[in-house]
Each structure stands twice: as C-alpha cells, then as structure tokens.
Structure 1
C-alpha cells in the first residue's frame, strides 16, 4: 500500500538534504518532483497541483530552527497537508437509530458484500451491536449465498426473500424483521453492475428513499485508481452518500483514490479494507495514513489492535506464571494466537516507525507461525506444561509428528528457553510497566 509513492516522496525530500535553508528555488525543485510522484500514484491532476501549491505557500519563508533540517521541515509540512487532503480527522460513523440502517452502494466487484460482513463483525465485536445483514442483490444468486456463508461464520442473521425481484420491498421488510428480532443495526447489501447505468442508479436511489438510511456508503475498489474517483462523483450526484469505503488497499494499488476522493467528491473516507479476512477493516484516520505514506509508521493503530486482544485477567495470570518461572508452551501458543488475531503480519510490522521500508520486499507470510504451532500441537499436554521433559527421544518424535526437522524442533526449544529467561529478567521491571500502561490505555 502506497509503497511506490512513499519511495518517490522520500527521493523528492533528498533534494533539500544538505541545504542550509528553504528557498523558493529549492522548494520549487522539490515540489516539482513531489507533483510527479503524486501523478504517478494516479492522484487527480488538479488535486496534485493544488496540493503542491499549498505546500509551497507554507514552506516559503518558514524559519528553520537550528535543530531542524530543511528537508525534515518539508516532510512535516507535506505530512500535515497530506492529512488535510484526506480529510484532516477521522469522520464520524453514525450507528444510532432503532434500528440504524446502513446502505451499501457501488459497482459489481468493488467488495460490497465482503465489506458488509466486515462491518457486521466490527459492530458486533467492538461496539456490542446486534447487526442483521440484508440480501438485496436479487440479480446475482452467488451474492445472496456469499452473504449467508459470511454471516454464518459471524453468527449474524441474514434477511432474504427467495424468488423476490423487488429489492425495495425486501429492504423495507428486513427493517421490520430486524425490530422483531431485536437487531439494532441493519446492513443492506445492494446490487452492482459492471458499469454505471440508469437502471442501477434508479434502483439504488429508490431503496434509499424507501428506507431513509442512517448512513449511505459508497464502496470502491482502490485498485481502480482514478476511475474510482470518477465513479464516486456519479454515484454522489444521484445518491448524496455519506462516506466512502476503500477496499483492497493491501493490493497492488498506487493510492491515488485515497488521496483524491475527498477533495473531488467532498465526502469523507470512513473505512479502509486491508485484507480478505472479516477482521481486516479499519476506521480511516487521515493523519495516520499520512504518517504511513511518509514511512513514519502507525504506532497508534498498532497499539489499538493490541488493545483489542488484551485481556487484563489473562495478563495478570501470565505475569504470575512468569514470576514463578512457570511460563510454558500453552502460554506461548496463546501469545501466538493473540498476535495472529491482530491481522496481517507484514501490515503489523510496517506500522512500526522506520520498519516499513525494511520489510517492503520481504515475504512475510501469515503462515509464519505454522511450523511452530505444528511442533507445539505435537506435544503431549504434559510436555507443553513441563518443557524440561523434552529430551532427545521426545524431540525426534515431535519432528516426525509435526512434519519438521529435528533442527527446527531444537531451534524452537532454544528460542523458547531464551524467551523465558528474558521474561523472567523483565518481570517486575519493564514488563510490569508495560502491563500497567496497557491497562491504563484500555480504560480510556
């Protein structure tokens, strides 16, 4: 996500490296390169030009403190302008109402159905809501089945009407059914087309008029680049939607849609999809995205993801076990599961400031823990609880049972012993402080 743009912007700022001050001449040269980088990322031309003009106005005449280098000041100015370009602050997402009704719109293949499931999961797991999904795509049978499969995974009800070809009445009936079942959020998945047509626009406008949604979202595939912005304009003229959802931001996308859509359509980006799993959905924070584009990481989002998996009671039990040097493979396995639930590993690592560029060409697979898990699952309950039992004969059995080598088993056990030693050393010091910090963050 934004990797090429990040590299190009970094090269642009090097023009100012070693310069004693910011002048009109060196700023013009830097911003010429910045504009090229934005256009290569498929940012709308007028947006790119206005952006660099605004940066130039703020940069010229700025006094550079002795502690700040000109290129560092330019990075700060560009970062602030990027955040402002994408909306400045996170947009509000309204889920009040009895029930709240969320209407999806967009072209076929944009990811509406998958996003509907992701949103249902987010509202259920983080907001304590009881959502219902509604199958209003009556033209593509696979869409209804897909919605039902996803809903079944989440334990969320789906409303559909077999044989009905009237999405307006389906949506109205669904709201009544949601009230009957005590559901407080209704997510209406609608039909898309391969291209915008009058029939499609008339239908989605009729659904909106009939159900008066709390939020109308336009879901767009960010990999379509500038076409996504043009499509958003046409939908907005007919629907006057409340916000944009960018899907597939983890793919091979140049990011132009994310940088252009707010200025061109004047509607906020509310969510971004960053993977195929149902939990791969984030609220859109313009300032954090600007940090990531400029290679500054996104430590706040990383902490928030960790908080979601943090269990205070479990943490206290783990701390007590570490104090008694009783940390075992069951605990180790539990920690691995928590990390996996936080999301895509490469995405997580890239959130650490300064690390994103280092890992961009590395193949960090979500299966990175598979070999470790296989070895631990091959252990008996007694071996997991008492790692000291793992002698040469047992290690050989573990290698055979897990489909790994004896060297891999030995390496895991050695690393586990090192982790136990480090945890024991940290216990009562840094570890305790980190636990207290996490506890305070959670209570906020």
Structure 2
C-alpha cells in the first residue's frame, strides 16, 4: 500500500517526540531531520521536501509551540496542515462545460493505465450523475489499444466511437465529436495515444487534438509506482499542453507515494482522482486532507463511510436490518455479508482507514490473505440448506461432516460458528439501541464484525507462522 514506509517512519518519529514531554530545540531539529529523511525515502521531490521542512520548523519556532502545552501534538498538527497544503488543500472537481458535451482529453505515457482510467471515470460519472458518456478511440499506434477501449466500453455499457487504426487521430476526434453532438452525449472522453517517453511527434498530435476539440479538461494519467518519474512526466506534459489535472494510478501498489506529495507543488496542477484497485469502480476523488490523515496513520473514516455507502446495497441492508430485529439472521445472510465486505477491497486497506488501526501492533506485518474469507464461505457451502437456516442444529457430528466437506479443521468450524453466534448477539443488542465502539461503521454492524472476525483469523495465522519461523531458526 502506498505511503506504508513513510507512515511507519513518521509515526516512529512522533512517538519518540511524545515520550519526551517537554520538547527542546534540539528535539525539534532531530524531528525535522527525521521528517526530511522520511520524505526523501518516500521519493518526494527534493525541493518540495526542503520547503516543507523549513515551513514546519519556522512555524514551530515562530509560534512558541515548544513552550506551550502538548508541543509534540502541535508539531504533528503542523505537519498534517503542511501535508494538506502541499497536496492542494481542497479536492478539485471536474471542469464542466456550460453546454453539452463536456470534453475530457485523457493523456499519459504507455503503461500508466490511461485507457482503463478513461473507463473508470466514465463509469463514475454514469453512476453518480446518470451521465451519457461517449468514449473516442484516438490511440491508433499502440497494438490493440482500440480493442482495449472497446472492451472497456462493453464492460461499463458505454458506447465507443472508433475507426480502427488506419485513420488519422485528429479526424477520428472530429467525427467522434460530431457523433456525440448528434446523440446528445453529455461527456466525451478522448483516449489519446501514449509513448514510452515524451517526444515531439506525440506532443504535436496532442496539441492538434487540443486545438480541434477545445477540451474542458486535459487529465494526465500517471503511474504512482514510477515515483519521481511520475513528477517529471507531469511537468513535461504540463509544459507542452497546460494540463488541468492529474489522475494517479496504482496508488494501492508497492509505491512510496512521493508522486502524490510532489505533483501539485511542482506543476501547480491538482490531483483530481486516484486509482486504487483493478475493478472499474476503483477510482476515487482525491482529498488532500484525507490523504494527509492516512499518511500520518490517523485513518480515513470519511472515505470508509463513503465506500460503505457505495458498495453496500441499500435495499439489502434494509432487509438485513429487518432480519436482525427479528433475530432471524442465518448463514445465508452471513455469506451475503461476506461477499459485500470483499467487494469493498483488500481487508488491510479497509482496516487502515479506521483511526488507530494503521499503527495497531496486531496489524504490523500481517498479510491479510483473501483466502480466509473464502475458507469461511467454504464452511457455509458445506452445510445443508436446513443447517444454514437453523444453526442451532449444528451438533458435533454435523460439524465434523461440514469440516470434512470444506477441507478445514473442525476447530476452525467450531470457532467460526462461535463467532457467528457472538455476531448475532451483538446485532441483536444493536437493534435494541445498545451500540458502542467501531462495530457498525462498516455496513451497519454486520460487516464491522465480519472485518474483526477476518482480522482475528489472520492475526492468529500470522502468529502461528511466526512461531514456526522461530522454531526453524532455532534448529538452524
């Protein structure tokens, strides 16, 4: 996950600071040095780091924070505020034309995920604004680029205007815009060509398309995993095209996150969206304040709540609440909830959005395997319809049969049934108004409990693996 190394190092630095009680100028110098090293290791632009550290240090000294109450806490706040400012202060909405269509030109180098991002953004507008977008295939050079955009269009049920690979891209765009005007499409996405690097021919073609289409948005798609190269790419495209915004892709990958912290400061152009997953729904608005909170390990509850509202079916949630009130929640409902939790994305990413979880020792170095939930489902699928609907009949012999059918140990089946019963009890209390803690932030109680079940299972497995490794090392 992006920022993992940066988050860990910053948390360690701030924890050392908090333990001191009174903070001296020497402590502040050491803290600023650690922050500078952490940012540089995260591949943040050197000039951005230099300005960042100087600003925080000057504010800490200039406002007499060291002599006040909770100086460590106030320094953390200064760092948070400067992170937000560096990334753009507020989220930047899409530019929208006064008359239809709004034209969005997508640009970027090969491999950044431009075509997929084009489809993700079109789907987002379609779902959230009931938009009627048209995709225009103007990349006639990359092998199978047109076919890829057509496939993306089919996946999201959005029309694609294409003329194959023999036509001139500028002519394709001209005729695509004519079709959009005829069909009253309110958004047109122009998927332009990319190269392995910025060159004169590419830029001339993009400039010609810009002159013809007069796009309301020129969004540059950059791969966050390329670090400083992403910043250099953004600067190069901006100098040539005067882009209006950036979309960062693969922010969920093994990336140090420096691009997200550098692009706005270097180009002056906002990051508008971030891609964090392979599904077509995995595109989020970029919120600088939320990203800063995640970098500092303070969670991101607003994004988590929005994600829950988006990924959980409202009608199904109401039906589930009714079953909870009537105490008729069974294993069929349990599997439905597991599926919905899985749709929200990797469990470790969900957990880190909860305040306090990002630096929870129980989660350190925990590999949250998606197979854990599949094992739970395998246990349920090994039950008879009657057993799923009436868990009270699950006696020891039935449990042994279920374990054999699922290929899981009996102890695991027993544990899951016990946790299921505890969850039913918890949900019953919630329905009566006894509601405390974080349970319920994910899917009105059900998925929050499921998340805890999954996490406990994963932590247990990791502890077991750790013991095995220790035994192996002792033998060696």
Same fold by TM-score, threshold 0.5 exceeded? yes
**Structure 1 unpaired stretches of 5+:** 440-444
**Is the deviation greater in 364-373 or in 266-275?**
364-373
Distance in 2, matches of 1:248 and 1:315, equals 31
Distance in 1, matches of 2:280 and 2:211, equals 29
Counterpart residue number, 1:43: 44
Distance in 1, matches of 2:364 and 2:102, equals 40
Counterpart residue number, 2:466: none
Counterpart residue number, 1:273: 275
Counterpart residue number, 1:242: 244
Q: How does 1:178-193 map to 2 (within 5 A)?
A: 178-193=180-195
Distance in 2, matches of 1:18 and 1:389, equals 54
**Structure 2 unpaired stretches of 5+:** 445-476
**Matched residue count:** 439
Match of 2:377 among 368, 373, 378: 373
Retained in 2: the 8 A contact 1:15–1:29?
no
Q: Secondary structure at the match of 1:195?
A: coil
Distance 1:17 1:327, change over 3 A: closer
What per-residue deviation string (whole Å, max 9, x for no partner) do you get for residues 216-241 of structure 1?
10111111111211111110011101
What per-residue deviation string (whole Å, max 9, x for no partner) do you get for residues 90-116 of structure 1?
112134441222111111111101211
Counterpart residue number, 1:429: 433
Distance in 1, matches of 2:257 and 2:383, equals 46
Distance in 2, matches of 1:295 and 1:74, equals 15
Q: Does 1:337 align with 2:373?
A: no
Distance in 1, matches of 2:392 and 2:12, equals 53
TM-aligned CA deviation for residue 21 of structure 1: 4.5
Distance 1:261 1:426, change over 3 A: same
Distance 1:436 1:394, change over 3 A: closer
Q: How does 1:157-168 map to 2 (within 5 A)?
A: 157-168=159-170
Distance in 1, matches of 2:182 and 2:377, equals 44
Distance in 2, matches of 1:356 and 1:70, equals 23
Q: Does 1:417 align with 2:421?
A: yes
Counterpart residue number, 1:86: 87
Counterpart residue number, 2:320: 318
What per-residue deviation string (whole Å, max 9, x for no partner) do you get for residues 167-197 of structure 1?
1121222223234444322222111111111
Distance in 1, matches of 2:191 and 2:38, equals 36
Counterpart residue number, 1:293: 295
Distance in 1, matches of 2:115 and 2:347, equals 25
Distance in 2, matches of 1:11 and 1:210, equals 53
Distance 1:146 1:405, change over 3 A: farther
Distance 1:51 1:400, change over 3 A: same
Distance 1:330 1:66, change over 3 A: farther
Distance in 1, matches of 2:357 and 2:112, equals 31
**Is the deviation greater in 92-101 or in 16-25?**
16-25
Q: Does 1:171 align with 2:173?
A: yes
Retained in 2: the 8 A contact 1:95–1:185?
no
Distance in 2, matches of 1:250 and 1:47, equals 23
Distance in 2, matches of 1:432 and 1:304, equals 20
Distance in 2, matches of 1:155 and 1:437, equals 29
TM-score normalised to structure 2 length: 0.85
Q: Secondary structure at the match of 2:88?
A: coil
Distance in 2, matches of 1:378 and 1:390, equals 12
Distance in 2, matches of 1:187 and 1:259, equals 27
Q: Does 1:136 align with 2:144?
A: no
Distance in 2, matches of 1:14 and 1:24, equals 17
Question: CA-atom RMSD, angstroms?
Answer: 2.7
Q: Secondary structure at the match of 1:204?
A: helix
Distance 1:355 1:15, change over 3 A: closer
Distance in 2, matches of 1:397 and 1:130, equals 52
Retained in 2: the 8 A contact 1:12–1:31?
no
Q: How does 1:385-400 map to 2 (within 5 A)?
A: 385-392=389-396, 394-400=398-404
**Is the deviation greater in 131-140 or in 310-319?**
310-319
TM-aligned CA deviation for residue 373 of structure 1: 2.0
Distance in 1, matches of 2:300 and 2:332, equals 31
Counterpart residue number, 2:352: 350
Distance in 2, matches of 1:127 and 1:338, equals 23
TM-aligned CA deviation for residue 415 of structure 1: 2.0
Q: How does 1:194-273 map to 2 (within 5 A)?
A: 194-273=196-275
Q: Does 1:363 align with 2:367?
A: yes
